[in-house]
Structure 1
């Protein structure tokens, strides 16, 4: 067994959290038609140097909680097939309307994205301009969330509101907030409306309605105990187009969170819901911009000052410099609001692993989803064991350090390690497409001289998740209208 000195162990626990950090970077200067959202990495120090201190255990804990939340959400979805069918039909009708209206347009939109690394979590941040005049807030970009909300200050009339206003001022004294009173386009939804009572029930709208025109309220809960409490409203969102001009989207559903708590939002002002659901921002914005959005994740060790974009609309194919785009079916509305794919199997070194076919059955008890909010890739037990065993066979000369760092099973002293000796991992989709991540995306850097296998086990039955580290250095296109997922190797440089 390879031993580590105490200093090396201490450094590991500070630096290993970079495993959960990825910067999304899509190049500036995208051609005809694209909306870009700039991502911010939470753990970057903005200096261009390697990361030096991160709360590893905290990040591992968040990933574990997110996996549990995904499992719970998928379990609930299995019992709501009728509602899911209705939801899919509404989304399709909405997309058809917008896409028909804009089918001749080639202009796309962009929102700035930067690394959120310095905030202590492995997620990406988007600069979001909302209101009239526009105010800037920074939101977590999450393909697994339905509701888009931001910390918000909204006053109203009456004694009860004045008292609540004082509390809100205390809540937000140290945070950036959206000032709803300063926006001429802010319109709350009546709590007596069918929109509040029925359409927003899945977004945790509350039943209370003191008077018919009182705002529709929500209490949005997350599995880790985090929560956001506030009011639903329609607002105007501003995009910068690739032509240099600006475009305003009106009547976009947002949440005005008067209070929020929990580690899920650390460093951000709220969450951008990019899931596939009736009222998610992804569906609303992508429908306006040719029915698609895309992003490119740079190396997860990239510093905070590496700029990138979340693109709504067509991306510039010339930017895919390292490989051609491949496409596979995007399975929508089956595994809740997640973006699922049909996988045939996984190979290591060109040899298909012995994994039961039901492991990948999205219509059964398995499946695979693409998730920007998860850092590591989680595999259900029937897939996890064969994948780990196959890769570990190539690392026999590197003893397991047996570090107590939660679900990461295998970390080793990487002195003398050459990634060219590791056989390539590949995800084989049912329609023939193949995704081959870089070795650094699954044999990941933890600290100087230490690497880990970047997989965590998930319970079976259940679904597996391709996290953002596995997605790095690839361009990913979510084509909602045509129900296909595109991907290609890319440097993701600006």
Structure 2
């Protein structure tokens, strides 16, 4: 009898083990996907009236964000002292501008899942949502500051677990995410409190939550214990038309680092043309990309520096050529150890180059469009705009980013000679004071597949129509 019982238990264990293996294999064979939209996509009903207004909006956010990138390498944490207040009610303090991205994803948080539209940002660590805590079923009535936004009602989620403010995680691990030092009671939630350079602001508490992802095979996958910011208050143009941010930076608590190990250690996206007028979208993917089979022969890889300019995704640019001629740019511009470096940033629209690189790039491109009347566009920081009547892309020599390991990124001409108004184009670069970090923005990345392989520290990219 005992022997029979032993074999029954052993058989049940083997069945359970095999089921777990099949589930694990299924996740890897069927990557997770999240729909990806541009911030001005028709679905979001947020497109400015004119193309010029649209570019001005993007650049306003870009300029603020670039200051954040330069300053974030030396973060500062300040305590906020108040009296007779809970942690979540602490006033805003001077923080760092994490900036926002220009593309949105549909994100499901909580149990049962609640759906939100969040900004995709490869340079932000924290994933947060517009959220109310301890307000029961009347949460929506408390949403007075953002009446048109969706609200995550934390009390209705059985998987919402706050991080205690007296915990090691709050006091040490989340310090660089601007956790507050004040802790009125040991079990009070760990709070964050920061103000952005453009006047935007956010205040909230940290929690662990469940995120629901859709798999490529139509099934669902739940990720448990994902660090989520529950933002009770936020304001500013940076978050226009969004319910929060998906943090994809390289950080212990970012969503990218939480989700990617479950799906082969990588994530990818393909940004549709930022000028698309149709209801087109693509996906933020974790695991294999739906484009891999079609692009396998065209994908190029370069080293992805995960700790060089943390938490950003840095690449080793060696130089830029235009029309097959390498420009005379000092190597220190690309060397992070000498005050330079280059990052891939989904949240910046245009491409920012430090002045020693910006000047030769602009000089070479200006020559190719000098036959067209130069125009001044008020409110735009771009130095060179022109009347585009009669312009054809073949007039402009090809621009190529050269990486130290031999890989070459050849963006589409429309990604650096960009439309800003009817009949007006501009050279899509913005200068950065030297020393400083150069950023390859999302307009430069458009119509390419980008794969961030965190396990093997490499970046893959290939041309694609992203539809």
Same fold (TM > 0.5): yes
Say if 2:449 and 2:466, in contact at 8 Å, map to a contact too: yes
Deviations 1:159-216 (CA, angstroms, capped at 9, x unpaired): xxx9xx8994433443210010110000001111000111011111111212111111
- How far did residue 400 of structure 1 move? 1.1
In the TM superposition, 1:127-142 aligns within 5 A as 127-142=106-121
The two structures, once aligned, show a CA RMSD in angstroms of: 2.4
Inter-CA distance 43–231: structure 2 relative to 1 (3 Å threshold): same
Q: List alignment gaps of at least 5 residues for structure 1.
A: 1-30, 78-120
Distance 1:381 1:151 in 2: 38
Q: What residue in structure 2 maps to residue 477 of structure 1?
A: 451
Inter-CA distance 314–321: structure 2 relative to 1 (3 Å threshold): closer
Q: List alignment gaps of at least 5 residues for structure 2.
A: 1-27, 77-99
Distance 2:132 2:458 in 1: 39
Say if 2:250 and 2:257, in contact at 8 Å, map to a contact too: yes
Q: What residue in structure 2 maps to residue 33 of structure 1?
A: 30
Aligned equivalent of 2:177, options 194, 203, 210: 203
SS in 1 for 2:171: helix
Bigger relative contact order, structure 1 or 2, given CA contacts below 8 A and separation 6+? Answer: 1
Inter-CA distance 340–435: structure 2 relative to 1 (3 Å threshold): same
Q: What residue in structure 1 maps to residue 81 of structure 2?
A: none
User: What's the TM-score, normalizing by structure 1?
Assistant: 0.80
Q: What residue in structure 2 maps to residue 227 of structure 1?
A: 201
Inter-CA distance 173–300: structure 2 relative to 1 (3 Å threshold): closer
Correspondence 1:190 to 2:169:
no
Inter-CA distance 272–304: structure 2 relative to 1 (3 Å threshold): farther
Q: What residue in structure 1 maps to residue 400 of structure 2?
A: 426
Distance 1:346 1:166 in 2: 52
Correspondence 1:406 to 2:380:
yes
Say if 1:44 and 1:51, in contact at 8 Å, map to a contact too: no
Q: What residue in structure 1 maps to residue 40 of structure 2?
A: 43
Say if 1:143 and 1:275, in contact at 8 Å, map to a contact too: yes
Inter-CA distance 448–171: structure 2 relative to 1 (3 Å threshold): closer
Inter-CA distance 369–154: structure 2 relative to 1 (3 Å threshold): same
Q: What residue in structure 2 maps to residue 149 of structure 1?
A: 128
User: What's the TM-score, normalizing by structure 2?
Assistant: 0.84
Inter-CA distance 411–149: structure 2 relative to 1 (3 Å threshold): same
Distance 2:255 2:174 in 1: 14
Say if 1:168 and 1:258, in contact at 8 Å, map to a contact too: no
Q: What residue in structure 1 maps to residue 250 of structure 2?
A: 276
Q: What residue in structure 1 maps to residue 232 of structure 2?
A: 258
Say if 2:38 and 2:272, in contact at 8 Å, map to a contact too: no
- How far did residue 47 of structure 1 move? 11
| Number of equivalences | 414
- How far did residue 252 of structure 1 move? 0.5
Correspondence 1:123 to 2:102:
yes
Say if 1:321 and 1:491, in contact at 8 Å, map to a contact too: no
Deviations 1:412-456 (CA, angstroms, capped at 9, x unpaired): 111111111211000000000000001010011122211111001
Say if 1:47 and 1:303, in contact at 8 Å, map to a contact too: no
Distance 1:465 1:199 in 2: 28
